[in-house]
Structure 1
Amino acid sequence: MSIEEPRTSPMAAVSRRTFLESVGAGFYGSALWSLLQSEQAAATPKLKPSGRDVRTVRPPRAKSVIQLFMNGGPSQMDLFDPKPELKRQHGKPYFHKIAGEVEFPDAAGALMRSPFKFHQHGECGMWVSEAMPHLARCVDDIAFIRSMHTTNLTHELALFKAHCGRMLPGLPSLGAWTAYGLGTENQELPAYVVLDDPQGLPVNGIQSWQSGFLPPEHQGTRFRATGTPVLNLKREFPEPDAITLAERAFINELDDRHRRRRSGQPRLAARIASYQLAARMQLAATDALDLRQEDASTQQMYGIGQAESDSYGRRCLIARRLVERGVRFVQLYVNGQIWDNHSQLKTGLESCCRRTDQPVAAL
């Protein structure tokens, strides 16, 4: 005779914090489940507009994602999450009592209140610091989550967890999973595009947008925000369209022969697919990145033409134009980890906000 455990709601013991902490891992897990189950699926494969064989767990509700990844971690208590107690305890050597797992609490200085003033904005009454005046006007359209936390102390490992769901390199990124699961609505553009900063790569570099064990075609494709979007995409000298089309047809035939003789090599298939996509991108990518098609008021709204916000503003506007053309996942980065302000907090945060506040609000 067994003793039956009391029945409770499966969500009764799940707190909001636990749920939010598990969302990332759950997304990757369900996508992996889809990948493993796809080999056993009996249904006829469904072809997405990209022409790729895609099986999904359920029909997608979201059409696209623009991820603005702020490397280094913006200081929440100086931007969106004011701490009244921190203000009251300003100047006190209290840090060692609340440090938790911080490595060297005795080396820390006294508690410090935010150097910025906070005001409530919008109908929701959200508190936003004076450092972000443009974003403050958009608070009613933003979902602020202020209950998330982590115990990791290392930026590099934390970045892997944020991008891939685990603190390990070599796993598929969120953008790669999205590209794998949803494909692209536009055959002339990649499903996953990365707009990194012209001043330099983020911490962890290109590992942040790799496809891991997914087919290589699902890794992020880097676009340059100025000049030619993808280097060597166009010929140095123009030629008649008829000749270009004939060359493509001939190359495609050779590629098909080569691929049939070497079946079961995903890297080869991905390389061929990337070259075919590059040929199709010659017009589509140039059009998507041509900001001259946007009127002056739109460019001004994104901060284009202003010294500090011009670069990020261009990439935000390009991101909008890409998703309008069917790209599923667009990722924007800043160079290095400029938000990792260990000293000169006020001037450092002000500089970061001047670069990003207006473009993000416009987007």
Structure 2
Amino acid sequence: MPNQFCGRTRREFLWQFGAGFGGVALSAMLQADGFFGRATAADATSTDSLAPKPPHFPTKAKRCIFLFMYGGPSQMDLFDYKPVLQKMDGKTADIEVRRRAVTKGKLLASKRKFAQYGKSGQWCSDALPHISQHMDELAVVKSLYSDSFIHGSAMLQMNSGRIVQGHPSIGSWLGYGLGSMNRNLPGYVVMLDPRGGPISGATNWSAGFMPAAYQGTVLRSAGEPILNLGSTAGDTVLQQRDRVDAINALNAAHLSSRPGYSELQARVASYELAFQLQSTAPEALDLSREDEKTKEMYGLNDPKGSHTLTVGPAPFGRQCLIARRMIERGVRFVQIYHGGGHQQQNWDAHNGVEENLAIHCPEIDKPIAGLLTDLKRRGLLDDTLVVWGGEFGRQPVVQGSGDGRDHNPKGFTYWLAGGGVKGGTSYGETDELGHEAVVDRHHVRDLHATLLHLMGLDHHKLTYFYGGLNQKLTGVIEPEVIKGIIA
């Protein structure tokens, strides 16, 4: 009988022996000996882990702004026009409202008026009159689907590719793959809605099992964006420099015997970054340097509105303007969360989709249109990728006694604009009711592979060794880059 292990090394045999259990045991012993810590020590202990790195291939996009609509915006009321749903308003249909829970529901047509805009003739509703003027710049993907009906896990999947905690977020992967373009500012910035953060919290911008240096830096939504930058003791810059150098030297000595302790390395980097931010952050965050025409374009001077739950366009407008100033100065990834708290305070339209749209669409419409206009006129849109969407979409049937819509991960919409994106593109379709993706269906992992591709990263090559595996943002199931939206 021929030797079935011919051509394999002893190490490969041990790894594969016993359906992989030999490999598991070997991994445990090597981990205990610090082998994996030594193997990844360059990532964990390097004082320059965020140094700029070349992309895997030439690309237009160098930076990304991700506009996250927390709660799940209603696709059939914004971009995914459904004439059949409009005609069948009030009739019943079998709809999966939760996983494997199929019930009869009363169909709910959109009360929004739709029209086609620009040379591309893309559909947009009257809920977003300013964004509708930019449809020729947007690639609208109408056929996404994900795995969870629940906010927390759905948000984690959209941000990290997994429905459980502990994995790096998109911004962390981009920082790991490309580094930062400005070491005096965070490479990964997060801004939250003044009404509160997303339900699954900081895990949405966590670095997971990567070194902590790759996690997102949160800017406060009110007051000082970054606290305690100034010296309360009245020390001079030189005195502060000497103190930071002394602290970093002590931390470096402690770190030398603990090569896998990324939290300490992140603390060393944070002291240095905090020192640099004293001079760079005030300038980057100072909106008084912008002219009044620009502030008006972002909606900073617009009234709040009459609804008790609205905050008006000014907060999101300020964040969009800060995002532009950040990426202009070399920040790699900026994520802005719109919507906070519960239900009608975000895009979670259980208690009424019309009220929900009336609260939130005016808050984002003018600021996003202003951001796209501003990026374009400054020559930044060509190399800046802008992404818009939430954790899932909404159902085409009524929830409750009014006009509520429940969660729907089976078919929802995202749009992209800017670097490398084919503007004026409507890609994919949901069924005639807007419930489930049916034409050119793409899982969230495909969207992630596409975002990486547009940023010049091959999802096969962007890996991080952890737990015995070469981990990837896109996971173990082979994703598909959405080529139909790439210019």
**Matches of 2:247 and 2:95, distance apart in 1:** 68
SS of 2:71 mapped into structure 1 = coil
**Matches of 2:153 and 2:54, distance apart in 1:** 29
Q: Decide which of 334, 355, 361 is 1:330's aligned counterpart.
A: 334
Please, which runs of 5 or more residues in structure 2 have no aligned partner?
1-35, 305-311, 372-487
Q: Decide which of 85, 94, 97 is 1:96's aligned counterpart.
A: 94
**Matches of 1:119 and 1:194, distance apart in 2:** 34
Residue 101 of structure 1 contacts residue 151 of structure 1 at CA under 8 Å; is this kept in 2? no
Alignment of 1:136-175 (within 5 A): 136-175=132-171
Shift of 1:193: 0.6
Q: Residue 350 of structure 2 aligns to which amino acid in structure 1?
A: H
Q: Decide which of 319, 340, 347 is 1:315's aligned counterpart.
A: 319
Residue 50 of structure 1 contacts residue 183 of structure 1 at CA under 8 Å; is this kept in 2? no
* 1:72 aligned residue: 71
Q: RCO higher in 1 or 2 (8 Å CA, sep ≥ 6)?
A: 2
Residue 90 of structure 2 contacts residue 107 of structure 2 at CA under 8 Å; is this kept in 1? yes
Please, which runs of 5 or more residues in structure 1 have no aligned partner?
1-35
- Give the structure with the larger helix fraction: 1
* 2:213 aligned residue: 217
Residue 189 of structure 2 contacts residue 218 of structure 2 at CA under 8 Å; is this kept in 1? yes
Bigger Cα displacement from structure 2, 143-152 vs 204-213: 143-152
Deviations 1:192-214 (A, max 9, x none): 11011122111211111011111
Taking structure 1 as reference, are residues 60 and 327 closer, same or farther at Cα in structure 2, changes over 3 Å only?
farther
* 1:254 aligned residue: 250
Q: Residue 181 of structure 1 aligns to which amino acid in structure 2?
A: G
Shift of 1:99: 6.1
Alignment of 1:122-133 (within 5 A): 122-133=118-129
Shift of 1:112: 1.3
SS of 2:66 mapped into structure 1 = strand
Q: Residue 56 of structure 2 aligns to which amino acid in structure 1?
A: R
Taking structure 1 as reference, are residues 226 and 237 closer, same or farther at Cα in structure 2, changes over 3 Å only?
farther
* 2:103 aligned residue: 105
Q: Residue 118 of structure 1 aligns to which amino acid in structure 2?
A: F
Residue 54 of structure 1 contacts residue 180 of structure 1 at CA under 8 Å; is this kept in 2? no
**Matches of 1:49 and 1:354, distance apart in 2:** 44
Q: Residue 361 of structure 2 aligns to which amino acid in structure 1?
A: C
**Matches of 1:325 and 1:206, distance apart in 2:** 25
1:345 aligns with 2:366: no
**Matches of 1:167 and 1:121, distance apart in 2:** 36
Q: Residue 342 of structure 1 aligns to which amino acid in structure 2?
A: H
Shift of 1:173: 0.6
Shift of 1:236: 2.4
Residue 63 of structure 1 contacts residue 328 of structure 1 at CA under 8 Å; is this kept in 2? yes
Normalising by structure 2, report the TM-score: 0.61
**Matches of 1:248 and 1:326, distance apart in 2:** 24
**Matches of 1:361 and 1:54, distance apart in 2:** 31
Residue 76 of structure 2 contacts residue 82 of structure 2 at CA under 8 Å; is this kept in 1? yes
- Give the structure with the larger strand fraction: 2
Residue 50 of structure 1 contacts residue 187 of structure 1 at CA under 8 Å; is this kept in 2? no
Deviations 1:283-339 (A, max 9, x none): 211211110010011011001122200100000000111001111010000213611
The count of residues paired between Structure 1 and Structure 2 equals 319
**Matches of 2:332 and 2:367, distance apart in 1:** 20
SS of 1:127 mapped into structure 2 = strand
Residue 172 of structure 2 contacts residue 216 of structure 2 at CA under 8 Å; is this kept in 1? yes
Q: Residue 311 of structure 1 aligns to which amino acid in structure 2?
A: P
Shift of 1:182: 1.0
1:354 aligns with 2:362: yes
Deviations 1:211-252 (A, max 9, x none): 111101111010124432222222225333332233333333
1:289 aligns with 2:285: yes
Q: RMSD in angstroms over aligned alpha carbons? A: 2.7
Shift of 1:263: 3.6
Q: Residue 315 of structure 1 aligns to which amino acid in structure 2?
A: Q
Q: Residue 224 of structure 1 aligns to which amino acid in structure 2?
A: R
Residue 93 of structure 2 contacts residue 107 of structure 2 at CA under 8 Å; is this kept in 1? yes
Q: Residue 88 of structure 1 aligns to which amino acid in structure 2?
A: K
Residue 47 of structure 2 contacts residue 269 of structure 2 at CA under 8 Å; is this kept in 1? no
Shift of 1:82: 0.9
**Matches of 2:134 and 2:95, distance apart in 1:** 37
Taking structure 1 as reference, are residues 296 and 238 closer, same or farther at Cα in structure 2, changes over 3 Å only?
farther
* 1:33 aligned residue: none
Taking structure 1 as reference, are residues 267 and 101 closer, same or farther at Cα in structure 2, changes over 3 Å only?
closer
**Matches of 2:39 and 2:246, distance apart in 1:** 33
Residue 155 of structure 2 contacts residue 204 of structure 2 at CA under 8 Å; is this kept in 1? yes
Bigger Cα displacement from structure 2, 133-142 vs 54-63: 54-63
Taking structure 1 as reference, are residues 273 and 182 closer, same or farther at Cα in structure 2, changes over 3 Å only?
same
Deviations 1:50-86 (A, max 9, x none): 6646766714632111000001111010000111110
SS of 2:249 mapped into structure 1 = helix
**Matches of 2:100 and 2:294, distance apart in 1:** 45
